[in-house]
Amino acid sequence: MVAGISMAASNPSAPLLRLEEIGKSFGATKVLEAVTLSVAPGEVIGLLGENGAGKSTMMNIVAGALEPSAGRVVFADAPRRFASISEGIEAGIAFVHQELSVVGSLSVAENLFLGRMPRNRLGLVDFAAMRSASKAMLAAVGASDIDPGRLAGSLRTGEQQLVEIARAAARNPRLLILDEPTSSLTPHEVSTFLDYVRKARLAGISIIFITHRLEEAMMICDRLLVLRNGAIVSDRRPAGTTKEQIIADMTGKASLFAYSPRTNPSDKVALRVRNLADRDHVSGISLDIRQGEIFGLFGLVGAGRTELLEIIVGARTMSRGNMELFGRNHAPRTPAQALQAGVALVPEGRKTAGILPQHSVRRNASASSLRKSGGGVMVSPRGEAERTAAELKALAVRMRDDRQPITTLSGGNQQKVVFARALLSGSRLLLLDEPTHGVDIGAKSEIYEIIRRAAENGLTVIVASSELPEIIALCDRVAVLSKGRLADIVERDDMQEAHLLRLAFSEYEKQQ
């Protein structure tokens, strides 16, 4: 490695590794496309991406195990196409592969010295020297617990992984590539291994670290690169980067909790509420909710969110104040009246209070629109069925067919059917009470998209939620209720969790 060190000294600021427009195809399958990347000496790069993104292929090209189909690799200022792994090793690249390659029938020490066992003057293998050197090699990567005399095959997978890392590290590489090194390590092994990475970095070794563990990568890496479908889609520094952003980069889907502003904001007031009260839960509520807005209602349990929604939808008696819906007096005495006026409520998800449990998916989705057609609007049964089917499809409700009982669907899908019903009812104001309570993360993200799409289509949406990330992800403005009173209406720019929580507690503090 002497030649390597003198090369680095000649140009210390130059990147150690450069990939220029690297492409790789296996037959007709394009696996990498125009990958360009530089790695500085001593830099730790986290290479992230979903399975099949091309991470291992890219690293095999760097290490010389695969020839690129296009582009070139520049290592230590010298353009090269490594014809073999041994040339890569010669140049100072060590690669710990995803697949383990320890020889189970040999001792740990023999594995560490595979092919280069130290010999004494008589030409015999110097086992004592090998044992003590092995100890040092293992200790260097934080694996001093492993006995060099043990049969490698008797080690846990994580320990075998550490033996391979120790072997690679002992070559004093200039670039160390680790393909998912921590996947089978115990938390203790991970932390000592990460100590090794920090030391190696200080010693000027560049490291490319492939991992699925984002927290780890964010903790240890200088840069995080995300590979998706064979292309680098982002290059970020951990400071100021969130896990959600990285996941969005990896999956290509907008982050679940990323707010997207409305593209068609309207000044028109959809619902005007003045000095509203019921007998015991809420009082003095005044709000102007704009058309096409996603308006949040936040508060602690018992703050009066659900009660306020119930008044708006006619399920609870308004004892004081008044409301206007698109300029017309709004004082429904039943939910059916509210529905006629264009207001639909999707009740809390967890309780699936909105479903008609003895009925089919189709019947559940079309319940409100049937009621409406009974009220005078003529709809042909066939047109109705088609509209229902289209809406269920648009909401990606997962089911065998729409005649199966709604209770046979998962909670998230039941909730989507209740959404379909509300959307099919032709309402202009949609009230959502805890819309994602108890549904899984996949259904949650789909429901967020449904809500955003509804607002983009001009529907006005009120979301009552006790989950701050949900409020912040969805809402254009939020009213914070505290003990049945309006603590404040918060605009987008002021929507920080701490601020909203403080408001939610405000009425409780006044009492003390």
What is the nearest approach in angstroms of ligand ADP to the Cβ of residue 177?
12
One DSSP character per residue, 218-241 reads: HHH-SEEEEEETTEEEEEE-STT-
Query: What is the Cα–Cα distance from 458 to 445, expressed in whole angstroms?
Result: 20
What are the backbone angles phi and psi of residue 270, rounded to the nearest 5°? -85, -50
What is the nearest approach in angstroms of ligand ADP to the Cβ of residue 68?
13
- For ligand ADP, the binding residues in 442-501 under the rule CB under 6 A are none
- For ligand ADP, the binding residues in 231-260 under the rule CB under 6 A are none
Query: What is the Cα–Cα distance from 478 to 297, expressed in whole angstroms?
Result: 6
Nearer to ligand ADP by Cβ, of 50 and 456: the residue is 50
Coil, helix or strand for 83? coil
What is the nearest approach in angstroms of Mg ion to the Cβ of residue 135?
31
Choose the one of Mg ion, ligand ADP, none that binds residue 57, judging by a C-beta under 5 to 8 angstroms depending on kind: ligand ADP
What is the nearest approach in angstroms of ligand ADP to the Cβ of residue 156?
23
Nearer to Mg ion by Cβ, of 209 and 448: the residue is 209
Q: Which residues bind Mg ion (CB under 5 A)?
A: 56
> Sign of the C-alpha dihedral, residues 137, 143, 147, 153?
negative
Assign 3-class secondary structure to 157-183. HHHHHHHHHHHHHCCCCCEEEEECCCC
Q: Give the residue closest to Mg ion by C-beta.
A: 56
Residue 192 CB coordination number (10 Å): 17
The residues with which 39 forms a beta bridge, in sequence order, are: 17
What is the nearest approach in angstroms of Mg ion to the Cβ of residue 98?
5
Is 390:420 a contact under the CB 8 Å cutoff?
no
**Residue 31 binds to ligand ADP (criterion: CB under 6 A):** yes
Question: Which of 41, 46, 49, 292 is in the footprint of ligand ADP by CB under 6 A?
Answer: 49
Q: Which stretch binds ligand ADP (CB under 6 A): 48-56, 105-113, 391-399, 408-416?
A: 48-56
Nearer to Mg ion by Cβ, of 180 and 278: the residue is 180
Query: What is the Cα–Cα distance from 309 to 316, expressed in whole angstroms?
Result: 9
For 458-495, b/e burial (b = at least 16 CB within 10 A) is: ebbbbbbbbebebbbbbbbbbbbbbbbbbbbbbeeeeb
**Residue 26 binds to ligand ADP (criterion: CB under 6 A):** yes
What is the nearest approach in angstroms of ligand ADP to the Cβ of residue 357?
44
**Residue 108 binds to ligand ADP (criterion: CB under 6 A):** no
The interaxial angle of helices 411-424 and 441-456, nearest 10 deg, is 10
Helices (runs of H) and strands (runs of E) counted in the chain = 17, 20
- For ligand ADP, the binding residues in 55-84 under the rule CB under 6 A are 55-57
Query: What is the Cα–Cα distance from 183 to 163, expressed in whole angstroms?
Result: 14
**Residue 29 binds to ligand ADP (criterion: CB under 6 A):** yes
Coil, helix or strand for 138? helix
**Residue 51 binds to ligand ADP (criterion: CB under 6 A):** yes
Is 435:415 a contact under the CB 8 Å cutoff?
yes
Q: Which stretch binds ligand ADP (CB under 6 A): 53-61, 115-123, 193-201, 367-375?
A: 53-61
Q: Which stretch binds ligand ADP (CB under 6 A): 50-58, 81-89, 283-291, 499-507?
A: 50-58
What is the nearest approach in angstroms of ligand ADP to the Cβ of residue 252?
14
What is the nearest approach in angstroms of ligand ADP to the Cβ of residue 19?
14
What is the nearest approach in angstroms of ligand ADP to the Cβ of residue 223?
18
Return the residue matching tokens 């390590």: 185
**Residue 416 binds to ligand ADP (criterion: CB under 6 A):** no
Query: What token pair was written down for 267?
Result: 């000044």
Nearer to ligand ADP by Cβ, of 34 and 40: the residue is 34
In this structure, which amino acid lies at residue 76? A
Choose the one of Mg ion, ligand ADP, none that binds residue 53, judging by a C-beta under 5 to 8 angstroms depending on kind: ligand ADP
Interface positions with ligand ADP (CB under 6 A): 26, 29, 31, 49, 51-57
